[in-house]
Amino acid sequence: MGLHESMDTQIELVQYLSVEGALLVPNAPVEDEKLVAFYEAMTRGRLFDGKAIALQRTGQLGTFASALGQEAVGVGVASAMEPRDVLVPSYRDHCAQFTRGMSMTECLLYWGGDERGSDFQQCRSDFPNCVPVATQISHAVGAAYAFKLRREERVAVTFIGDGGTANGAFYEALNIAGVWNAPVIIVINNNGWAISTPRSLECAAPTLAQKGVAAGIECRQVDGNDVAAMHDVARRAIAKARAGEGPTLIEALTYRLGDHTTADDATRYRDADLVRRAWTREPIARLRAYLLGKGLWSKEREALLLKRCGEEVENAVAAYLATPPQNATAMFDWLYETLPISLRSQRDAARRYSAGGSHD
Amino acid sequence: MTELNLVEAVNAALSCGMSRDDSVLLLGEDIGANGGVFRATNGLQARFGRERVIDAPLAEGGIAGVAVGMAAMGLRPVAEIQFTGFIYPTFDQMINHASRLRNRTRGRLSCPMVLRSPYGAGIHAPEHHSESPEALFAHIPGLRVVIPSTPARAYGLLLAAMRDPDPVVFLEPTRLYRLFKQEVVDDGEALPLDACFMTREGLDVTVVAWGAMVREAMLAAETLEGEGVEVEIIDVATLKPCDFDTILRSVEKTGRCVIVQEAPRSNGFGAEIAAEIGERALYSLQAPICRVAAYDVVVPLYRLERDYIPSVERIIGAIRGVMEGA
């Protein structure tokens, strides 16, 4: 690029549905049946979310990271993936993971302190939740490279929060993704907060999407509470990656309506008016308004959905609570493929002095 | 039979590993056309192509991270970190992810990657090029830490590391890269991991060492042989998980133990060996265990590095000390 050339770094926000649920584009770019399915999936996720918080509050679950208000990001993106693709989640992506096939019981086991929750029975190639911020992006890039090397038409999709994009690991991975033209989609779940630190104190750039500019990869910014827009942009990015045309960075503008986790109290740092205003833009009511307006949804269907999802959540909770603890020696079972000889005596000690789990 | 130095043996192992297993690939800074700054990957890009010998962007944490992702998806990446002074950004990935992926997913995903790096002092290198961080990695459950001491062991252990189903940190003593040659049979045969090597048999004192210090211990043993002291030398080779049984058997036989490490003294891996002997073979000892180590100081710039690295003379002094303690 010569001195007189410049890059257009203007990134336009993609939005199909207004906050009132009106269609903002001439033709709905997502089929009606899909939108109904997304509505059901988002509702399912929200019901689960509420139950998980209730379980934590009653001492039946450990710390939990709610996705309240962010359901459209996970559902919109994951529904654009195929089973053969790979999801590399952060720790607030259960809406995406449910779409991929992770069971509610597995999710509860994970947050309930049991590693078996990450042994997904359906989405066997998906990565487990990633807690160290931003470190998961390079895993997705590496996975994508593996697909590319083997000439597999698979893509990797990964999520990161707005705060995570301040981390060096994010930039390194983004840069490598660009150089390798890796079939990877990196979704920034910009929910406005890195625990208590607002977006404005994390980054001075007008958009987080433009962080991809310096890495030479396509950058998109989407209304993250508009599941139609989220899905369509993700679908196009995935198709592009699958065709060998490289990575995409998608910034999803959403809002964290709940606390960072159940260990957090957002009232300490967040204005209540902000939250009230954010509730007017949330994804589920918006889509419901659209579907009702088109005659695609009804009170009867809503009641049936809530009943079905409620039963599913209760069944998952029952299965979670009925899952017997692992033996103490389970700590050693998967540390290495084969337990090294030098660790045998430690495993024996764990068995002898086992306090929590059941004995062998 | 071919006479190879240690870096040539590394190259031969990488070449053999890649030719026998299509899932093996190499990535690192300057490893392609340049063949690595020490030439460990010399000629491999020409032979195996740019897709399998990747000149990676200058981002050590990112290199380790993409290797985790590749490994989880069935590849066997061998990532080169140019010098150990630059290996610290990989800790996040190695500790938080590579070492834990199998455990976290109950075996659903695993991380069969190798993180290679030249390590240790003695080559008159610039600042941050002479570190010995083996104990930092050896503290981490789920990792393997392997350090060869000869060209033949470098060849066999690196092949084993590439075939291992779990992540391996493979630290190559830079000082030995071109110090001497040895016959290496390039037959694709791996050496066992998690096992110490009995490098020299003797009845009077056990010297436990790894990496470049094995050679110093050998020189010390040869000198002491003339004085009638029979030194047994154990090359630890795999520090994590460590084959303490072989070390303990030797100490029970000789009754004396000197541990030699190039890393700083305190909280080093030598302390772990001493503790194991103290717990499991104390009553076999005829003299206190002795450690010979670098001092607890920052690795000095190279004008002082010969004073920093444990010398043959210091090892001889320590052996004489435990012999007199009998």
Q: What is the pLDDT of residue A299?
A: 97
Find the mean pLDDT for residues B231-254: 98
The encoded tokens of residue B157 equal 């252990």
Residues A349 and B171: their CA atoms lie apart, in Å, by 32
Are B66 and A125 in contact (CB < 8 Å)? no
Residues A103 and A99: their CA atoms lie apart, in Å, by 9
Q: How far is CA A301 from CA A34, A39, A40, A93, in A?
A: 16, 11, 10, 26
The encoded tokens of residue A93 equal 């992506």
A-chain residue closest to B92, CA distance: A135
Nearest residue to B167 (alpha-carbon basis) of B222, B215, B100: B100
The encoded tokens of residue A325 equal 């603890």
Residues B174 and A210: their CA atoms lie apart, in Å, by 42
Q: Are A176 and B59 in contact (CB under 8 A)?
A: yes
Give me the active site residues of A, please.
Answer: 256, 260, 269
Q: How far is CA A330 from CA A354, B100, B144, in A?
A: 11, 14, 20
Are B102 and A128 in contact (CB < 8 Å)? no
- Reported residue count of chain A is 360
Q: Which residues of chain B lie closer than 8 angstroms to A151, CB-CB?
A: none
Q: Which residues of chain B lie closer than 8 angstroms to A247, CB-CB?
A: none
Residue of B105, B193, B277 to mutate, testing the A interface (most A Cβ within 10 Å of its Cβ):
B105
The encoded tokens of residue B13 equal 């192992």
Q: What is the pLDDT of residue B74?
A: 98
- Residue B286 scores a pLDDT above 70: yes
Are B106 and A119 in contact (CB < 8 Å)? yes
Residue of A172, A175, A180 to mutate, testing the B interface (most B Cβ within 10 Å of its Cβ):
A172
Are A335 and B102 in contact (CB < 8 Å)? yes
CATH 2.60.120.10 fits B2-184, yes or no: no
Give residues with Cβ within 8 angstroms of B47, minimum separation 6: B15, B18
Distance to chain B for A138, nearest Cα, Å = 5
Q: Are A139 and B97 in contact (CB under 8 A)?
A: yes
Are A132 and B92 in contact (CB < 8 Å)? yes
Give residues with Cβ within 8 angstroms of B299, minimum separation 6: B121, B130, B131, B132, B305, B308
Q: What is the pLDDT of residue A358?
A: 46
Residues B147 and B196: their CA atoms lie apart, in Å, by 11
Q: Which residue has the tokens 């939108």?
A: A35
Cα–Cα–Cα angle for B173, B196, B148, rounded to 5 degrees:
15
Q: Which residues of chain A lie closer than 8 angstroms to B241, CB-CB?
A: 336, 340-343
pLDDT digits (tens, 9 = 90+) for A4-61: 555 566 799 999 999 999 999 998 789 999 999 999 999 999 999 999 999 999 999 9
Q: Are B39 and B46 in contact (CB under 8 A)?
A: no
- Residue A342 has its nearest CB partner, among B70, B92, B243, at B243
B3, burial (CB in 10 Å: exposed 0-12, middle 13-18, buried 19+): exposed
Flag whether residue A333 sits within 8 Å of chain B, measured between CB atoms. Answer: yes
Residue type, A226: D
Containing H/E element for A87? strand A86-88
Residues A163 and A219: their CA atoms lie apart, in Å, by 18
Which DSSP string corresponds to B152-199?
HHHHHHHHHHHH-SS-EEEEEEGGGTTT--EEE--S-PPPPSS--EEE
Distance to chain B for A149, nearest Cα, Å = 7
Residue type, A26: P
Give pTM, 2 decimals: 0.96
A-chain residue closest to B98, CA distance: A139
For chain B, state the CA radius of gyration.
Answer: 19
Residue type, A77: V
Chain A, window 112-141: residues with a beta carbon less than 8 angstroms from a chain B beta carbon = 115-116, 118-120, 124-125, 127-128, 130, 132, 135, 137-141
Domain boundary assignment for chain A:
8-325, 326-360
Nearest residue to A76 (alpha-carbon basis) of A27, A126, A38: A38
Residues A262 and A254: their CA atoms lie apart, in Å, by 19
CB hemisphere CA count around A56 (13 angstroms): 21
Are B69 and A343 in contact (CB < 8 Å)? no
Residue of A100, A138, A167, A347 to mutate, testing the B interface (most B Cβ within 10 Å of its Cβ):
A138
Flag whether residue A169 sits within 8 Å of chain B, measured between CB atoms. Answer: yes
Q: Which of B97, B124, B128, B129 is catalytic?
A: B129
Q: What is the pLDDT of residue A356?
A: 61
Class of B197-324 in CATH: alpha beta
- Residue A341 has its nearest CB partner, among B108, B110, B194, at B194
User: Phi, psi (5° rounding) for residue A160?
Assistant: -150, 150
pLDDT digits (tens, 9 = 90+) for B38-96: 999 999 999 999 999 999 999 999 999 999 999 999 999 999 999 999 999 999 999 99
Q: Are A220 and A11 in contact (CB under 8 A)?
A: yes
Distance to chain B for A240, nearest Cα, Å = 21
Residues of chain A short of pLDDT 70, as ranges, are: 1-9, 356-360
Three-class secondary structure of residue A145 per DSSP: helix
- Residue A127 has its nearest CB partner, among B61, B72, B93, at B72
Identify each DSSP E strand in chain B by its residue range.
2-4, 24-28, 53-55, 76-80, 114-119, 144-146, 168-173, 182-184, 197-200, 205-209, 231-235, 238-240, 257-264, 290-294
Domain boundary assignment for chain B:
2-184, 197-324
Q: Evaluate whether B2-184 and B197-324 have a shared fold.
A: yes
Class of A8-325 in CATH: alpha beta
For chain A, state the CA radius of gyration.
Answer: 21
- Reported residue count of chain B is 326
Nearest residue to B40 (alpha-carbon basis) of B17, B7, B63, B16: B7
Distance to chain A for B95, nearest Cα, Å = 11
Centre a 10 Å sphere on the Cβ of residue A88 and count the other Cβ atoms it contains: 28
The encoded tokens of residue A79 equal 């529904």
Are A139 and B97 in contact (CB < 8 Å)? yes
